[in-house]
Structure 1
Amino acid sequence: MKPIYLTGFMGSGKTTIGSLLGKRLNLPVVDTDHYIEEKYSRKVAEIFSLLGEEVFRSYEASILSELPQQDAVITTGGGMAVSEPNRKYMLENGFVIFLSCPLDTIFERLKEDESRPLFDHEKKREMEKLYDSRLPFYRECHWVLETSGEDPANIVEKIAARLELSDSGQTVEKQ
């Protein structure tokens, strides 16, 4: 099976769903942010503050081809899909699922999280602009799946069922 790429805005559920999906499908889970932190021996926030977002984005692009080419769940950083070459690579080499979630829900989920260098609770309008600017890129995927108000276990079962359909040769339209 091709790798499953989970994309979406920070707080949309990529890490939670990815972990549960990996267990459900008995597949390894690779978090691209953690992969970058290990490879470059720096936390994402440190890379942003010391080297800048442009350097971090170049790290994201450079690791894609190093990630598993099959039988894996890959949770991407919130900005991974913004890059056209990254989107193209993921679409051609895997099954891309956009975990969609309204911004109000994301603000609620991240209210105590201070580890995200681009998320600022005090600048809600800027976060709305960032979110809106990324939506068209996230929508370039194989499947849009709403995560707001859904139990993570139910989301994982929906993904597993969809993957079973595609493995059986049936095609399922993007929702």
Structure 2
Amino acid sequence: MRNQLFSAIVLMVFSFSGDAMAQENGPTIIPEQLQKLALKFPITERLKIDWNEAAPEDVGRYLGFLAAVNEVALTVAKSHDRKEPSEVDFLAALSIECIWPNHKPPLVEASWPLQEPAFYNAAVRETIRAAVGPVARELPDRIEKLGQDLYASSGGELPTQPDRYYKDIFDIKKLTGGK
């Protein structure tokens, strides 16, 4: 019964669709396209969520992570003069957040808990957008040029050294206040 109730709550939260932008300090809406794409990647495993034994905090972590990915995708899309993220922008955001390709070093994983408030906090969303680096904005073009399979098998050809990754791809120091 608990799992059914939990599933109903998750479905109700995810049933919202519409504009991907959020209110000032209020919940953001996770775009349906991102929700569907997220099911293809090991997000729950990486967040250590077991939906069969999930607690409300797990739902919050999951929604917070997707909200952070959405902010990264919005930033990438905007740099390509797109009002709304396309699938390739969401894929770039998942790559930037070290979810995809699957064998990519988890260089920003430690910052995920700091990004989770993006679901309800406008200041965190703004900080995430500011953390997206110049090379990260080029990823949609790279993914389209190589194709998803070749991009994934190449590891995205992104920096593996933390300092370079933070400078060019996603600066987690902006989330931690420079620490």
The normalised TM-score by structure 2 is 0.27
* Structure with greater helix share of residues: 2
